[in-house]
């Protein structure tokens, strides 16, 4: 049997064993699957077959929220998507699940910088509010988690983005793809201006294999100016075709979209 990582058993307990809200710690009175879901995996209401109901029940169980309805509604969901350019005439749209504000900001910081796994159920609840990209499924899409450098991985001891991306992959049933690496010569993006962020990221990524599918879903934990996702998008867009030796027109066959857990303010 595959050994569960400590955070996985913590998530399992929060999901099935703990009936308290992961934010206010008050007992969840409303089953979360009765709350309106804004992801597109919902099954049309006019389909009443036994298997559809069963599948709906199983989906609900897996997609059930981890917050009480009050906390669920008190968080401002789904900021408007914003765009960054990745090539002439091509933009990358970035959709975040929420804003980088209280209480998500504190939860992300505790999770990222102090490896506080008790915050993971709250973050997972927020992550599940992201609308599943239309037309994307396991056979035509992959999720590309923002890669980290080996140096940072050693320093931090774990990779928060890959843990979140793995949860998103499970939720959307879209596989992860690890075909991009981050080159170790950049410094942390924190505290840099937009211009500094962009120049810091030139040549920060390299493709190590050709993407297996044409729909690439980029994912990062926090998108502030979107500079990291933009640089990753540019690399995927420009290097994908040079690897397969196609002309630049063929790159339009790659469809890139980007998602983040939270959209940070630049202030």
Nearer to Zn ion, 23 or 145 (CB): 23
144 binds Zn ion (CB under 5 A): no
**Which one-letter DSSP state was computed for residue 103?**
T
**Considering only CA atoms, which of 2, 5, 31 is closest in space to residue 166?**
5
Nearer to Zn ion, 68 or 227 (CB): 68
Q: Under 8 Å CB-to-CB from 261, ≥6 apart: which residues? A: 96, 97, 98, 104, 108, 123, 126, 127, 164, 220, 221, 222
3-state SS, residue 97? strand
Task: Select the residue interacting with Zn ion from 24, 153, 166, 213 (CB under 5 A).
Answer: 24
- Nearest approach in angstroms of CB 14 to Zn ion is 13
Do the beta carbons of residue 142 and residue 174 sit within 8 Å? yes
Find the part of the chain contacting Zn ion (CB under 5 A) among 10-18, 23-31, 160-168, 237-245.
Answer: 23-31
Nearer to Zn ion, 32 or 240 (CB): 32
Nearer to Zn ion, 27 or 193 (CB): 27
- Nearest approach in angstroms of CB 266 to Zn ion is 30
Neighbouring C-beta atoms of residue 267, cutoff 10 Å: 4
104 binds Zn ion (CB under 5 A): no
- Nearest approach in angstroms of CB 98 to Zn ion is 15
Find the part of the chain contacting Zn ion (CB under 5 A) among 49-57, 69-77, 94-102, 181-189.
Answer: 69-77
Find the part of the chain contacting Zn ion (CB under 5 A) among 2-10, 15-23, 87-95, 138-146.
Answer: 15-23
126 binds Zn ion (CB under 5 A): no
68 binds Zn ion (CB under 5 A): yes
3-state SS, residue 96? strand
Cα dihedral 157, 227, 172, 130 sign: positive
Render the burial of 240-255: b for 16+ CB within 10 Å, e for the rest: bbeeeeeeeeebeebe
- Nearest approach in angstroms of CB 123 to Zn ion is 15
- Nearest approach in angstroms of CB 25 to Zn ion is 7
- Nearest approach in angstroms of CB 68 to Zn ion is 3
SS3 content of the chain, % helix, strand, coil (to 5): 40, 20, 40
Find the part of the chain contacting Zn ion (CB under 5 A) among 64-72, 117-125, 163-171, 204-212.
Answer: 64-72
23 binds Zn ion (CB under 5 A): yes
**Considering only CA atoms, which of 93, 162, 166 is closest in space to residue 131?**
93
Task: Select the residue interacting with Zn ion from 71, 146, 222, 223 (CB under 5 A).
Answer: 71
Residue with tokens 């765009």: 83
Chain residues binding Zn ion by CB under 5 A are 21, 23-24, 68, 71
């Amino acid at each position: 049997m595959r050994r569960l990582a400590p955070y996985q058993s913590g998530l399992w307990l929060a999901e099935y064993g703990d009936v308290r809200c992961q934010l206010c710690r008050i007992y969840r009175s409303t089953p979360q699957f009765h709350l309106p879901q804004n992801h597109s995996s919902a099954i049309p209401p006019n389909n009443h077959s036994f298997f559809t109901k069963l599948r709906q029940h199983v989906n609900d169980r897996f997609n059930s929220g981890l917050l009480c309805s009050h906390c669920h509604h008190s968080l401002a969901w789904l900021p408007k998507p914003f765009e960054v350019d990745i090539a002439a005439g091509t933009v990358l749209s970035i959709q975040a699940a929420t804003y980088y504000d209280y209480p998500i900001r504190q939860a992300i910081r505790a999770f990222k910088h102090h490896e506080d796994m008790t915050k993971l159920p709250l973050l997972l609840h927020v992550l599940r509010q992201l609308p599943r990209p239309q037309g994307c499924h396991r056979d035509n899409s992959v999720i590309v988690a923002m890669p980290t450098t080996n140096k940072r991985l050693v320093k931090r001891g774990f990779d928060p983005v890959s843990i979140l991306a793995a949860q998103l992959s499970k939720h959307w049933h879209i596989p992860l793809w690890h075909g991009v690496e981050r080159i170790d010569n950049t410094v942390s993006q924190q505290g840099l201006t937009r211009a500094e962020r962009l120049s810091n990221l030139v040549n920060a990524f390299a493709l190590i294999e050709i993407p297996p599918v044409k729909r690439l879903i980029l994912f990062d934990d926090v998108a502030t100016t979107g500079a990291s996702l933009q640089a990753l998008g540019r690399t995927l867009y420009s290097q994908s075709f040079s690897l397969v030796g196609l002309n630049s027109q063929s790159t339009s066959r790659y469809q890139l979209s980007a998602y983040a857990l939270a959209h940070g303010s630049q202030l």
